[in-house]
Amino acid sequence: MTVLLVEDDVDLRDAMTTLFHLQGWSVLPAADGLTAIQQVNRHYDAVVLDMLLPGASGFQVIQAVRNRRGPQLPVIMVSGNGLQAHQDYAAILGISCFLEKPVSMDNLLKVLRESIANK
């Protein structure tokens, strides 16, 4: 499995990358929204992304992913901004799940596995 990982916090991105590698998964890392949007045509099986990103927001990344890859690709949003309005908007755009930071890595793996199994 390959995950497009979009996170501007270097420490969190590194921790998630290590976690995914320990599962035997590949990671396409992106530190900002524009880089992620440039990568949406590459092969990956799921997206894990932050909402507040430099360059382009997580919402803009979701729109690009949905426009180019369709509605079935799992997209997990992980954000420290858990306002209900933001969660609702992300749901309208078609995320699979919204997780608030700090995120449990065990829960992130569980949600990713379930999302991929249900696609």
93: domain CATH number? 3.40.50.2300
Number of domains comprising the chain: 1
Q: Which domain covers residue 29, as residue numbers?
A: 13-69+84-117
Kindly state the tokens that stand for 62. 């979701």
Give percent above pLDDT 90 in the chain: 94
List, in sequence order, every residue forming a beta bridge with 100; answer none if it has no partner.
79
The 10s digit of each residue's pLDDT in 3-58 is 999 999 999 999 999 999 999 999 999 999 999 999 999 999 999 999 999 999 99
53 domain residue, yes or no: yes
pTM greater than 0.85 (yes/no): yes
Cβ(3)–Cβ(46) below 8 Å: yes
The 10s digit of each residue's pLDDT in 62-102 is 999 999 999 999 999 999 887 899 999 999 999 999 999 99
Nearest to 53 by CA among 33, 70, 34: 33
Q: How far apart are CA 95 and CA 116, in angstroms?
A: 13
75 domain residue, yes or no: no
**What is the pLDDT, as a whole number, of residue 83?**
84
Q: In what order do the strands lie in the sheet with 75-79?
A: 26-30, 2-6, 46-49, 75-79, 97-100
79 domain residue, yes or no: no
